[in-house]
Amino acid sequence: MRVLISWLAFNNDYLKSSSESNYRIPDNSGPTFSVHQHFWKEAEYDKHILLNSSPNERDVKNFKKFVSDLKEDFKGRQIEGRLVAIEDVICVPEIIAKLNPLLAEFAQDQIEVFISPGTPAMQTAWYLLGTSYRSNLKLFQTRAGKFTDNNKPERIYIDLDSDLFPANITAAERVIDGPNTTAGTGIKITKSLEPIYAKAEKIAHTDQVGALILGENGTGKENLARFIHDHSNRRSKPFLAVNCAAYSDDLLRSELFGHEKGSFTGANEKRKGVLQEAHGGTVFLDEIGDISPKMQVTLLRVLQERKVQPVGSSKEIEIDVRFITATNRNLEELCDAEKFRWDLFFRLAVTKLELPALRERGGDEIEEMLHHFNDLLFTKFPKKKKLKVSSEVIKKLRTYGFKGNVRELENLFIQFYTFCENEIKLEDLPPRIIENRSDPRSLAEVEKSQILKIYGEGKRSLVEVSLILGCTRDTLRKKLKEYGVYKGD
């Protein structure tokens, strides 16, 4: 789901009243109503969680009336009011502690947080929580129409990786991580990563050289790219990341190169692209293996000429950025299949770094990462003491396959610190880990892989495939139905 979360703005969501009446009138021009009026359809939200921080009986009654009016004005939308009682609205640790269970509840969804309503401490809490839920959480503010060129309200996303991110939070993270032992957020340089990061540091010191980073999702490709940026002479300039798979060709072109006002429907103002915004710094293009052949040609020219042409413009603009790209796909195989250009591949892969999957790094490193996240998250959560990890849990995690890699382990500890009090026990683990369902080394997964490989060749009958695999046709049919790929005999 796409979930919108915001606080009720007590000072702006109700009409001003000189009286001390117990009944407050919702303002349909306030920030909450405005988000529904101007941005809901565009954002395609599935649900809105509206939060009330005051447990006061009068405030709770007014809040329920406010939610009721909101539902009445915007029929058919899922709007849920929740009380998240905050005793001290300027106490960041308390606010984080109260919000963590909410975000953990929607950890598998795409979350957008409207941060304008609330105290400065509430906004700071959203920033801090963004470092833990970075993969599925976006923050945005709104600008009123009277302050825009076209007199229409605008939604402004906050890039946690840019200069907008509070400097004190970034500094605190670096202190938490400690010198020379971590890179980026939550990535510890263990033994198997040391030679990779040593190469990355050499790349960083060679200014114009880019890098292609290979690895499964969740292995830390963006953290490695950030490490290169942070150890280069571009460190004081922007580091901007773009997930190429998240955009169509036209949107990706606009995102990277910018556009002129009126160049397409919805282009209500001139906008710089990422490659201009990152001038002097680094641009990280993730999922580069997913761009179209047409976009490959365009990007190749940009890499060669170091110039971009904004959409709707006839002028070219020179750029000065270091390109770092990443993919979880085998680009050489894509080139052999003529789905990716060899000339672009050679441009991107001047230097190449490959991150191993967490399961490939062995039980000792998994346990080392386990203790690392326990230490790291203890400092970010208002727990009185660090959680103990039972020996049964350590044993299970050491042998688990971690399809989501380091990111899966980090998110797992966020859940632990949200729900566990003193110790992480076996019953606190998700069923997939207790049963070890996702380990590709398990017998069931090896069997499934081999069956799908032979069956997927599509050149043999079910009888022939069953003979090759040494099982009956009925057994094979049952397995194929279980995997959801059975096409009939």
Query: Which pLDDT score is estimated for 157?
Result: 82
Task: Tell me which range, 2-16, 255-269, 323-337, is most confidently predicted by mean pLDDT.
Answer: 323-337
pLDDT in tens, 417-434: 888 888 999 999 988 888
DSSP string computed for 241-252: EEEGGGS-HHHH
Mean predicted confidence (pLDDT) in 356-378 = 90
- pLDDT level of residue 384 (50, 70, 90 thresholds): low
Fold that domain 179-354 belongs to in CATH? Rossmann fold (3.40.50)
pLDDT in tens, 150-202: 778 888 887 665 433 433 333 333 333 333 334 444 468 899 999 999 999 99
pLDDT in tens, 232-248: 999 989 999 998 988 88
Mean residue pLDDT of the chain comes to 84
- Please determine, for residue 135, whether its predicted confidence score (pLDDT) is greater than 70: no
For the whole model, what pTM was predicted? 0.56
Query: Which pLDDT score is estimated for 175?
Result: 32
On the 0-12 / 13-18 / 19+ scale of CB atoms within 10 A, 142 is middle
- Please determine, for residue 97, whether its predicted confidence score (pLDDT) is greater than 50: yes
Q: Where are the domains of the chain?
A: 2-158, 179-354, 361-434, 443-483
Query: Which pLDDT score is estimated for 17?
Result: 61
Task: Tell me which range, 5-19, 35-49, 84-98, is most confidently predicted by mean pLDDT.
Answer: 35-49
> Percent of the chain beyond pLDDT 90?
39
Which pairs count as long-range contacts for 420-428, CB under 8 Å and 24+ apart, including other chains? 420/387, 422/385, 422/387, 422/388, 423/387, 423/388, 423/389, 423/390, 424/387, 424/388, 424/389, 424/390, 424/393, 425/390, 425/392, 425/393, 426/390, 426/392, 426/393, 426/396, 428/393
- pLDDT level of residue 214 (50, 70, 90 thresholds): very high
CATH of 361-434, one of 3.30.70.420, 1.10.8.60, 2.40.10.10, 3.40.605.10: 1.10.8.60
Query: Which pLDDT score is estimated for 403?
Result: 86
Higher pLDDT, 443 or 468: 468
CATH topology match: 2-158 vs 179-354: yes
CATH of 2-158, one of 3.40.50.10860, 3.90.199.10, 2.60.40.10, 3.40.50.10770: 3.40.50.10770
